[in-house]
Amino acid sequence: MTTIRFCFLCALLALWLPWAAAAPAPVLVLQIDGAIGPVAMDRVQRALERAAREQAALVVLEIDTPGGLDTAMRGIVQAILASPVPVAGYVAPPGARAASAGTYILYACHVAAMAPATNLGAATPVALGLPGSGPEKEPKADKDGAPDKSQDTMSAKRMQDASAYLRSLAQLRGRDTAWADQAVKDSASLAANEALAHKVIDLVASDRADLLRQLDGREVRLAGAGKPDGPVVKLATAQAPVLVAEPNWRDRLLGVLSDPSLALLLMMVGVYGLVFEFMNPGFVAPGVIGGVCLLLAMWGLQMLPINYSGLALILLGIAFFVAEAFVPSYGALGAGGIAAFVFGALLLIDSELPGFGVPLPFIATIAGLFALALVVLIRMALKAHARPVVNGPPGLFGTHAVVIEFDPAQGEGWAQLNGERWRIHAGGQALAPGQLVQVARVDGLRLEVHPAPARQQQQQQQPASAP
């Protein structure tokens, strides 16, 4: 019986081993949608690491991007060049684009493909590698009216660096270097069929299934940085299982937090929450919420191309607005705070970078809320200024006191006022204990008084004689 079981297991193993050996390696698909930033770079790097771990046959990057940050783009390109797994860049779905930074990524891939009705190009650097600085502009003129050579030189250096970078990728993958130069220097763009005709891409595929069908049996060289003569790999994608790398909760959270508008809003909530906690110790919740929001805002801002002058203006504006609540200046500090906040928000992030920048309607909405709060603070200050003084020497003028004892020879005595004993001086007038007097002046700790009118004297005595 044991021999029969052993033979049966051996037969099953003999049948399973060829099937397992023939099982095709999977194809990993990652969608890059939106601006290229640190979150997209992190996702691509982790996807390529997973593909190497699982020995995938191919990684397909489905690209639809207007561009993004230079540092993130270079990080993605370096990860592709160092990948031991072939990478296919696919501009999809129809209507998508691989503009600016997307063009560099597509050039770096082992296979470049596009769907119909897509385009690529416009790879001119926008202050390439200089986060927080402005976009490429016409050079300013100096005092003599001639172009500023220093700015012109910096623009030329950035342009030449970007052009050489894209040409080097084109040479590595055997693609058209002349058009790569045009894409950088002239912002040239191409549609899918035009790109195929110019040998900028390798194929046009209608959808993902068509792409995998055309790639099946294709040979690619795993040449990367420092490996110009890498091994040649034959792709087997026709029957390969497709695994789509969906963004997890961490990717979604990081993508939301790196939004410039949300980062700015979190910073404001964090600062005001901490200020409220310091003003009202013991509430706890505002301090906890403010601390968490401020840390999240700092994380989001450090992933963005920040202009630190803009950040300083925003913090100065918030400080001015907080100071308005403590030191009422009838709108001077508040108006300065609103102006500083608006200018800071405009300068905070380079709005010309695609996908990055604080929208003007958002800035206008926040400035409007600040202005509304400023109006409320001014009205509160004016009402407080119109109220009569209720403490200190000015608050004692015209009040009434009851004489406790009085020395006619010295013209001084003692009276009770607001539950306290005060030394009084009547200026030569005789006063009697129990008499109602009115304060005329405050001289240090002594009150100058005179007898209250007869009508008020009668009103004071009526409750005592009522029984």
Tens digit of pLDDT for each residue in 342-356?
Answer: 888 888 875 555 556
Identity of the amino acid at 35? A
Residue 227: pLDDT band by 50, 70, 90 thresholds? low
- State whether residue 452 is helix, strand or coil: coil
Q: Is residue 143 part of a domain?
A: no
Residue 396: pLDDT band by 50, 70, 90 thresholds? confident
For 419-459, the pLDDT digits (tens) are 788 888 887 777 888 888 888 888 777 888 888 876 666 66
DSSP 339-399: HHHHHHHHHHB-TTSTT-S--HHHHHHHHHHHHHHHHHHHHHHHHHHHSPP-STGGGGTT-
On whether both 229 and 256 belong to a single domain, the answer is no
Contact of 70 with 128, CB cutoff 8 Å: yes
Identity of the amino acid at 121? G
pLDDT for the residue 21: 46
Per DSSP, 227 falls in state B
pLDDT greater at residue 228 or residue 231 = 231
Other Cβ atoms within 10 Å of 235 Cβ, number? 22
How many domains does the chain divide into?
Answer: 3
On whether both 399 and 450 belong to a single domain, the answer is yes
pLDDT greater at residue 461 or residue 450 = 450
Q: Is residue 112 part of a domain?
A: yes
On whether both 209 and 331 belong to a single domain, the answer is no
Please provide the distance, in angstroms rounded to a whole number, between the alpha carbons at the two ends of the chain: 121
On whether both 212 and 77 belong to a single domain, the answer is yes
Q: Is residue 376 part of a domain?
A: yes
pLDDT for the residue 130: 37
For 11-42, the pLDDT digits (tens) are 655 554 444 444 578 999 999 988 888 888 98
Q: Is 90 exceeded by the pLDDT of residue 44? A: yes
Q: What percentage of residues in the chain have a pLDDT greater than 90? A: 25
pLDDT for the residue 192: 93
Q: Residue 88 and residue 111: Cα distance in Å, rounded?
A: 4
Q: Residue 181 and residue 171: Cα distance in Å, rounded?
A: 12
Other Cβ atoms within 10 Å of 309 Cβ, number? 13
Last residue of a domain, one of 329, 358, 386: 386
The tokens 């927080």 sit on which residue?
132
CA distances 59 to 54, 131, 218, 237, 292, Å, are 11, 30, 14, 11, 37
Q: Residue 66 and residue 35: Cα distance in Å, rounded?
A: 6
Q: Is 50 exceeded by the pLDDT of residue 138? A: no
Return the structure tokens found at 119.
């385009």
Tell me the range of 135-139, 172-176, 385-389 where mean pLDDT is highest.
172-176
Q: Sign of the C-alpha dihedral, residues 65, 67, 71, 77?
A: positive
Q: Is the previous residue joined to 93 through a cis bond, with omega within 30 degrees of 0?
A: yes
pLDDT for the residue 379: 77
Q: Residue 56 and residue 17: Cα distance in Å, rounded?
A: 20
For 318-333, the pLDDT digits (tens) are 888 888 877 767 778 8
pLDDT for the residue 149: 53
Residue 353: HSE in the Cβ half-sphere, 13 Å Cα cutoff: 29
Other Cβ atoms within 10 Å of 303 Cβ, number? 18
On whether both 196 and 305 belong to a single domain, the answer is no
Q: Is residue 162 part of a domain?
A: yes
pLDDT greater at residue 60 or residue 440 = 60
Q: Residue 172 and residue 87: Cα distance in Å, rounded?
A: 14
On whether both 66 and 198 belong to a single domain, the answer is yes
On whether both 208 and 296 belong to a single domain, the answer is no
Contact of 207 with 92, CB cutoff 8 Å: yes
pLDDT for the residue 134: 39
On whether both 378 and 400 belong to a single domain, the answer is no
Q: Which of 64-68, 110-114, 150-154, 276-280 has the lowest mean pLDDT?
A: 150-154
Q: Is residue 141 part of a domain?
A: no
For 233-247, the pLDDT digits (tens) are 889 888 889 998 888
Residue 3: pLDDT band by 50, 70, 90 thresholds? low
Q: Which of 56-70, 136-150, 208-222, 277-291 has the lowest mean pLDDT?
A: 136-150
Q: Residue 463 and residue 454: Cα distance in Å, rounded?
A: 15
Last residue of a domain, one of 354, 369, 386: 386
Q: Is residue 11 part of a domain?
A: no
Residue 145: pLDDT band by 50, 70, 90 thresholds? low
Q: Residue 313 and residue 105: Cα distance in Å, rounded?
A: 36
On whether both 227 and 326 belong to a single domain, the answer is no
On whether both 363 and 419 belong to a single domain, the answer is no
Mean of all residue pLDDT scores within the chain:
80
On whether both 78 and 194 belong to a single domain, the answer is yes
Q: Is residue 400 part of a domain?
A: yes
Identity of the amino acid at 8? F
Q: Residue 203 and residue 328: Cα distance in Å, rounded?
A: 68
CATH number at residue 214: 3.90.226.10
Pairing of strands 242-244, 27-33: parallel
Pairing of strands 436-443, 446-451: antiparallel
Last residue of a domain, one of 386, 406, 439: 386
Q: Is residue 145 part of a domain?
A: no
Instruction: Please compute Rg for the chain using Cα positions.
Output: 39
Per DSSP, 219 falls in state E
Q: What is the mean predicted confidence (pLDDT) over 374-385?
A: 73
Q: Which residues pair with 232 in a beta bridge?
A: 221
On whether both 183 and 215 belong to a single domain, the answer is yes
Domain extent for 398:
393-465
